Amino acid sequence: MIQTLLNYFFRYFLFIRNKNVILNGKLKIKNKPLVHILDGTKLIIGDNVTLNSKNAKYHVNMFAPVKIYLDKVGAKITIGNNSRIHGSCLHAYKSINIGDNCLIAANCQIFDGNGHETSLDDPTKRLKITGISKPILIGNNCWIGTSVIILPGTKIGNNCIVAAGSVVKGEFKDNSLIAGNPAKFIKFVK
């Protein structure tokens, strides 16, 4: 009962009353997510979305709660209908679009921009210069396995599966099984 009340509280104060958030239906929150939504950004959440930060009764250990960061003006994160995100980080400088019916397992890192440039000519600049941003697109019906890292500019088609622990960069067609570090197309799945 207390946990249910807390989840309603989180939903109201973190999402419903925030003018930069559009809720298009039911949002289920399990334990408090970490949320940073800068003015001039947009978070769009579809119907029947779950943000799970509760380690109990989840089959993989979560190292941290769901983290949603929009910290550059114009940044946008869209989470499609019926999608579930478990203890993972979404960090947008520009755009992250997650389709409908997606499952994102625990400990994934999805970020569309590098925190710093390499600045090999003068490494001291790394602390002052942010890296480039490229939108991320995850299609409908995708399953992103635990501890996957999705890098800037990645496009994952519909009905794809990304194996646990993969580091993903590039474009992948619909129905792909993707695995490895760096991640590669393995085969088409049905």
pLDDT in tens, 116-147: 676 677 777 777 777 789 999 999 999 999 99
Q: Pick 2-188's CATH classification: 1.10.645.10, 1.10.357.140, 2.160.10.10, 3.20.190.10.
A: 2.160.10.10
Span 10-34, pLDDT tens digits? 776 677 778 899 999 999 999 999 9
Amino acid 71: pLDDT:
85
CA distances from 181 to 105, 111, 141, 178, 185 (A): 18, 17, 23, 10, 11
Catalytic residue of the set 36, 86, 91, 116: 116
Q: Do 91 and 111 touch, CB atoms closer than 8 A?
A: yes
Which SS3 state, helix, strand or coil, does residue 98 take?
strand
Residues of the chain with pLDDT under 70: 1-4, 6-9, 12-13, 116, 118-119
Amino acid 132: pLDDT:
84
Domain positions in the chain: 2-188
Amino acid 128: pLDDT:
72
Amino acid 37: pLDDT:
93
Tokens standing for 64? 């941290």
**Residue 116 designated active-site:** yes
Question: Bridge partners of 50?
Answer: 28, 84
For residue 128, give every residue at least 6 positions away whose Cβ sits within 8 Å of its Cβ, in sequence order, or none.
Answer: none
Entry field: residues in the chain: 190
